[in-house]
Amino acid sequence: MAEAPPSGSSRRSWFTGAVILATALGAGGWVLLHWGVEETDNAQLQAHITEISSRIPGTIARVAVEDNQLVKAGELLVALDDRDAKSRLRQAQADLQEAQRQAEAGQAQVNSSVSQARAAGSQADADQQAARAEAVRSKAELNRLEFLLRQGGVSRQEVERARSTNQQALSQLTHSQASRSQSQASHSQVNADQKKAAAAGARIDQIRAALAQAQLQLTYTRISAPQAGRIGARSAEPGRQLQPGQPLMLLVAAQPWVEANFKETQLASLYPGQPAEIRIDALPGQLFHGQVRSLAPASGARFALLPPDNATGNFTKVVQRVTARISFDDLSPQQAQRLVPGLSANVRVRRR
């Protein structure tokens, strides 16, 4: 006997059971994927972007890079016309040589003045001692002859000759004292020469500083990459006149990160060091892994140009967001090249 086909109520029961089972499986899958996870789609890729500019005025002689080009740290980006800088450097070098020659001449003059002053002082001392000794001896001889004259033992002519000799000795003593004063004046000349030599030394230091500045200015004519990255927004062209601080291009660092803005109600579950899953809208199907590096010290509203003032009376409670910095794990150079700042991302962080 043939089996009877299922009734309509049986089919409905079977369908209802299938729907309930599918719903339960879907709910279970959703719970499995989202339970214990904090997630946000308010996230963007970021990277260090450095504005490249010149530190000195000048003219661009050569631009060594193009837009989107990869560069290494220290690689030449822009070369300025360095002829003026080299001319100033040569002038500073010539000034230093001239100042050194003048200083050497001044030191030689000091040495000569010191030698002459010492010789003059020694001679003056010797002359003064000899003159003093002669004055004492001649005075004693005069006294002896004057005593003998009173006794009638010598003639008056001998006494007059002794008196004349004593006067000459006194004159010579006076002359030696004047010579000693002149030798002391020569020490004053030595002091003056030493001051000139010190001034020449100070000028050398000043010119050396100018030379170092000229050398530094010459290095500024070569603008190099401060770090590895890619070139963007290049506006530098050969022949362009520059002023200090004028932007030439942007350098985007090679290592990006994610800034994920979580709601304030999610902060209790976020800690530095937590593993994170990152999906980039521009790269569907690819999953990146990273870590929570840090949390911002204030909400985004506090960092705004015009922070809100809730004391004005027009208060509306808005859920605030706090930025978490997420770093990538084991990002290859090819992946880093595709992860450019500004791309949207989704971040999932599992609660501890």
SS3 content of the chain, % helix, strand, coil (to 5): 50, 25, 25
Give the count of domains, the chain.
1
Please indicate, yes or no, if residue 173 is contained in any of the structural domains. yes
| pLDDT per residue rounded down to tens, the chain (352 residues) | 445 555 556 666 666 766 676 676 555 544 445 556 889 999 999 999 999 999 999 999 999 999 999 999 999 999 999 999 999 999 999 998 888 888 777 777 766 666 666 666 666 666 667 767 777 777 777 677 766 667 776 777 776 777 777 777 677 767 666 665 665 556 666 676 677 777 878 888 888 999 999 999 999 999 999 999 999 999 999 999 999 999 999 999 988 999 999 998 888 888 899 999 999 999 998 999 999 999 999 888 878 777 777 766 677 788 889 999 999 998 888 888 889 999 999 999 987 6
Does residue 142 contact residue 162 with C-beta atoms inside 8 Å? yes
Instruction: Please list the residues that pair with 154 across neighbouring strands.
Output: none
Please indicate, yes or no, if residue 92 is contained in any of the structural domains. yes
Please indicate, yes or no, if residue 116 is contained in any of the structural domains. yes
DSSP H or E run through 250: strand 247-253
Instruction: Please list the residues that pair with 7 across neighbouring strands.
Output: none
Does residue 43 contact residue 344 with C-beta atoms inside 8 Å? yes
Please indicate, yes or no, if residue 275 is contained in any of the structural domains. no
Whole-angstrom distance, CA of residue 260 vs CA of residue 196: 69
DSSP H or E run through 111: helix 83-151
Whole-angstrom distance, CA of residue 295 vs CA of residue 270: 8
Please indicate, yes or no, if residue 215 is contained in any of the structural domains. yes
Does residue 257 contact residue 293 with C-beta atoms inside 8 Å? yes
Chain centroid to Cα 300, Å, comes to 32
Domain housing 198: 83-219
Please indicate, yes or no, if residue 143 is contained in any of the structural domains. yes
Please indicate, yes or no, if residue 161 is contained in any of the structural domains. yes
Q: Identify the CATH number of the domain in which residue 152 sits.
A: 1.10.287
Please indicate, yes or no, if residue 30 is contained in any of the structural domains. no
